[in-house]
């Protein structure tokens, strides 16, 4: 991991951009750290630059709660090399949505599964590098982004001990089986009237999770309209489990 | 309204039992009140004495948040005269559940609708009396209990400005229509694996509510196992809307 830039935000948060091999990422840490901080991995749908205003908002909340926060770019997004297969799957998804057709399992699998298979080991590599920093000590939470990435991480990565998942993207059938193997505490956000999301699939996925502590928070306001109080509730979940 | 007993709880909360005509009730107020406090009406499924430990817990939370809290006994429950029709409906419900049969709409209507029709004007009368006390000023929230009573109150009683509803009892079909006319902010608690409750009906009812701000919190732990953090989240909802 190489740090390539560093700036202090107005509230004293230290924001550092880094690269991990050819993957760009951002790390946010408190103004001063006396003991190694827990870490929240900030997920997103791809396009870290485009998502920056929302990512830095979530990161500031985590840092205010005493955590470090970090994110990396997803494969095929932002400044990373495009993937022809992923672009095709995205175009097919858009085509189906615009035509008002049901989105077939085959498109969802083509869109999400390769992304999960590639992204999850990258987030794990980022975790190796981040936990090696003296100012970061764990435990680790994963927050938001493509829900299937969160599910896979929760299954395969024992260092992730709690997750806030955002039920806002298509979920391949096979992920429902993986969901049954998740046992860490989960806090799932569902935007009830998110037109681009299949509400029933989100409820089925919540039902499938094997975790003994799992909470679903459904709110109004559309895909990007998560109310501020819902963001605060998610932050309190991390404080309970990582603090 | 006549006060019939008064005691200080260990945390200084003033607990007063009262009667409103022949309806028993309990009022909890802060140790000292400088300005008239908002009021939380504490709902329950009937049997105020039996439910007392849980009711006083919720009342203490409300008082700690700066509110007064009050409850009254439901018709046909506790020390109030039994209702043969209600007892018969309860027995029929139990019979259906024990036989593993689906609970017919007819039983649910017979069980819940007369209760709603009788109880709601009683809660409104209690509201008249409580709001006439110098130490209580509003706004008013309604919390928990039989969800259909909460729905009806939210529709017909303009002094109730926010409600925490507990999706834990059978809901007559006609209440789904009333739900569409609810516009106040709602915070709905659903125990996901509550075996005595129809989860799909609870989700349908949440969907039906006309409120622009409505939040569903689903948790594990069975009918009576609402996690402490979920109770705290409900309290924060009232602080946001009544505080």
Domain coordinates in residue numbering, chain A: 2-81+115-242
Average pLDDT over residues A3-29: 96
If one compares A188 and B138, the residue with the highest pLDDT of the two is: A188
CA A24, CA A44: separation in Å to the nearest integer?
Answer: 14
- Write the ipTM: 0.89
In this predicted structure, the answer to whether residue A102 has a pLDDT above a threshold of 90 is no
Q: How distant, in Å, are the alpha carbons of A70, A71, A159 from that of A130?
A: 8, 10, 12
Residues of B in contact with A192 (CB under 8 A): 206-207, 214, 216
Low-confidence ranges of chain B (pLDDT < 50): none
Q: Among residues B66, B37, B39, which one has the least CA distance to residue B127?
A: B39
In this predicted structure, the answer to whether residue A71 has a pLDDT above a threshold of 80 is yes
Q: What is the CATH number of domain B2-79+121-242?
A: 3.40.50.1820
Are residues B213 and A236, on separate chains, in Cβ contact within 8 Å? Answer: no
Average pLDDT over residues A186-200: 91
**Cα radius of gyration (chain A):** 17
Q: Among residues B79, B62, B54, which one has the least CA distance to residue B28?
A: B62
Residues of A in contact with B200 (CB under 8 A): none
Tell me what pLDDT residue A228 has: 92
A59 bridge partner residues: none
If one compares A102 and A166, the residue with the highest pLDDT of the two is: A166
Provide the shortest C-alpha distance from residue B207 to chain A (in Å): 8
E strand intervals along B21-149: 23-29, 37-43, 68-72, 136-144
In this predicted structure, the answer to whether residue A196 has a pLDDT above a threshold of 80 is no
Are residues A213 and B227, on separate chains, in Cβ contact within 8 Å? Answer: yes
What is the CATH superfamily name and number for domain A2-81+115-242?
Alpha/Beta hydrolase fold, catalytic domain (3.40.50.1820)
Is the link from the previous residue into A139 a cis peptide, with omega within 30 of 0? Answer: yes
Residue among B214, B218, B219 minimizing CB distance to A220:
B214
Residues of A in contact with B216 (CB under 8 A): 192, 216-219
Tell me what pLDDT residue B197 has: 81
In this predicted structure, the answer to whether residue A130 has a pLDDT above a threshold of 90 is yes
Average pLDDT over residues A181-200: 92
Q: Is residue A202 within 8 Å of residue A167, measured between CB atoms?
A: yes
Q: What is the dihedral of CA B84, B86, B87, B91, to 10 degrees?
A: 130
If one compares B197 and A175, the residue with the highest pLDDT of the two is: A175
CA A118, CA A123: separation in Å to the nearest integer?
Answer: 9
In this predicted structure, the answer to whether residue A157 has a pLDDT above a threshold of 80 is yes
Q: Among residues B7, B76, B96, B67, which one has the least CA distance to residue B236?
A: B67
């Amino acid at each position: 991991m190489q740090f390539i830039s560093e700036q202090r935000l107005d509230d004293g948060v230290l924001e550092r951009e880094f690269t991990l091999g050819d993957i760009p990422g951002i790390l946010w840490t408190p103004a001063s750290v006396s003991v190694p901080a827990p870490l929240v991995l900030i997920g997103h749908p791809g396009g870290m630059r485009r998502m920056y205003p929302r990512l830095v908002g979530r990161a500031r909340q985590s840092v205010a709660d005493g955590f470090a926060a970090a994110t990396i770019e997803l494969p095929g997004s932002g400044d990373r090399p495009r993937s022809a297969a992923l672009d095709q799957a995205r175009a097919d998804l858009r085509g189906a949505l615009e035509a008002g057709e049901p989105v077939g399992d085959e498109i969802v699998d083509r869109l999400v599964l390769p992304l999960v298979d590639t992204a999850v080991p990258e987030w794990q590599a980022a975790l190796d590098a981040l936990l090696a920093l003296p100012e970061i000590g764990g435990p680790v939470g994963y927050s938001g982004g493509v829900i299937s990435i969160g599910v896979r991480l929760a299954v395969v990565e024992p260092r992730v001990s709690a997750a806030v998942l955002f039920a806002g993207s298509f979920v391949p059938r096979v992920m429902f089986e993986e969901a049954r193997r998740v046992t860490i505490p989960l806090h799932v956000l569902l935007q009830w009237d998110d037109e681009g999301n299949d509400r029933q699939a989100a409820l089925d996925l919540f039902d499938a999770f094997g975790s003994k502590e799992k909470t679903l928070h459904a709110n109004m306001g559309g895909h990007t309209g998560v109310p501020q109080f819902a963001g605060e509730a998610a932050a309190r979940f991390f404080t309970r489990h990582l603090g």
